[in-house]
Amino acid sequence: MSSLSRREFLRTGLVGPVVASLGGPLGSTVTGEQQAKSARKPNIVFILADDWGLDDTGCYGSDRHKNRTGNIDALAAGGLRFERCYSAPLCGPTRCEINTGRYAFRTGGLTNPVSGQPKSQDEYPLARILKETGYDTCHVGKWRQMGETPGDWGFGEYITDNTAGGWYWQKSYTKNGQLVETPEEVYCPDVYHSFAVDFLQRHAPKGSASAKPFYLYYASHLVHGPILRTPDSKPGETDPVALYDDNVAYLDKQVGALVAEIDKLGLRENTLIVFSADNGTVGQPNTIGGRKINGVKGTMLEGGARVPLIANWKGVAPAGRVLKDLVDFSDILPTFAEAVGAKLPQGVTVDGRSFTPQIRGRKGNPREWIYVQLGRRWYVRDDGWKLNQAGELFDMKDSPFAEQLVAEDLKDEAAVAARKRLGAVLDQLNPAGGKTISAEDEAAAKNRAKKQAQRQKQKQRQGQKQGPKKGQKKASAGQQAQIE
């Protein structure tokens, strides 16, 4: 236990027989109450923003929102911030990776919609792993693209809705499989937040479920389109840019409220809080230090999949540390599993690598490359280079602002070595040999998404012509999602 304090050791979840075997001498140095507190398995709260890039986040240098994300920035200041984390460039494939720890060509979670691909019975989902380790599991917010229900995927309780886009001012939602209808429109992010708070309160030291550690997956609809007014928007506000800013501010406010609740309930020191996003910004990327991020949601450019990743664990994660370690979203499952001391399923290829050691302040075993896939396109990227399915090599030294295509016949030593190195990774992964989608099906999926976006715009235009309904002032389509 040389590099691991006893307190930290107990927190790893390596408890039970190990703790029991420590016996007398160590046991006599702490009170029973302290020991019980230390031995409690850590809780995990995973906050996932929707359509939110580095350029939306103050602590990543966003010029536009630098004073709008104070609560998220505070999580980074009190914990770790990973500079190079990669989701998939689209909602559904990202959520598949989170829940399975596996790349899309293994699961079939290739593009939107991914419902039915993969199936929960064919996978070993994160929530099920945690549940089988004794955790209470709760899903809050966006789910639909995963298919089935959060319950099928291992969540003991959940609140969600039947949509892949934003679900804001509405008269219905789904709670634990039951449709709930309300007489008046409610702001669903607030309803979902209350559900999360109730879950936390039941798991607080004095709550009815205090004996159980928990996993709360807080998958906000914010800031996916349609970009509508929030409860904090100026009355009558219709300017789409102002409303977009309001949505950013509202997500940050909810993050702050969630963390304050965790503090108030006495859960903070035993709770790992992770904040990330499911893909990059929609529409126009914002600037960082005056330069525009290269690429947005749905693209295979850096801005499509490079997202913020913040891990805050009071008393465990080093405060204010910034890491350049490469992380991709298949890493979330093994990271959370290791954090709670759960074993990974046998006989299942998990692509991810745990970054729990880094969260605990150690060097860990950082990745040498990350992998990103969307439909029939993919790339593998390492510290300075990126190679895609077409064999195109990009020099990434100026990312996330620019990526330079390298001429195929360039004899530059570093480029030649990178092509060889990354090519070997792709050969080993062999995405083309895994589950795939036909060009026709991919085009059809894109077309459906486009039509859906058009319907959304049409609906919003009609809403504007007719004037806003009570509690629902529609924005123009200027900043709407083009795709789910």
Binding residues (CB under 5 A) for Ca ion: these are 50-51, 91, 278-279
The least CB distance from residue 331 to Ca ion, in Å, is: 19
Does residue 319 contact residue 79 with C-beta atoms inside 8 Å?
A: yes
The least CB distance from residue 142 to Ca ion, in Å, is: 8
- Residue 309 or 337 with smaller CB distance to Ca ion: 309
Length of the chain: 484
The least CB distance from residue 278 to Ca ion, in Å, is: 4
Q: In what order do the strands lie in the sheet with 80-86?
A: 178-187, 169-175, 157-160, 136-141, 214-219, 43-49, 271-277, 306-312, 80-86, 321-328
- Residue 117 or 482 with smaller CB distance to Ca ion: 482
The least CB distance from residue 280 to Ca ion, in Å, is: 9
Position closest to Ca ion via CB: 91
Strand pairing partners for 275? 47, 310
The least CB distance from residue 224 to Ca ion, in Å, is: 6
Strand pairing partners for 76? none
Q: Which of these, 420, 407, 429, 481, lies nearest to 168 by C-alpha position?
A: 481
- Residue 75 or 91 with smaller CB distance to Ca ion: 91
The least CB distance from residue 267 to Ca ion, in Å, is: 28
Whose structure tokens read 């990526």?
403
The least CB distance from residue 78 to Ca ion, in Å, is: 26
Pairing of strands 80-86, 321-328: parallel
The least CB distance from residue 68 to Ca ion, in Å, is: 19
Query: Residue 223 phi/psi, 5° resolution?
Result: -115, 45
- Residue 107 or 145 with smaller CB distance to Ca ion: 145
- Residue 144 or 268 with smaller CB distance to Ca ion: 144
The least CB distance from residue 484 to Ca ion, in Å, is: 7
- Residue 91 or 222 with smaller CB distance to Ca ion: 91
- Residue 47 or 129 with smaller CB distance to Ca ion: 47
The least CB distance from residue 139 to Ca ion, in Å, is: 16
- Residue 97 or 278 with smaller CB distance to Ca ion: 278
- Residue 93 or 108 with smaller CB distance to Ca ion: 93
- Residue 307 or 326 with smaller CB distance to Ca ion: 307
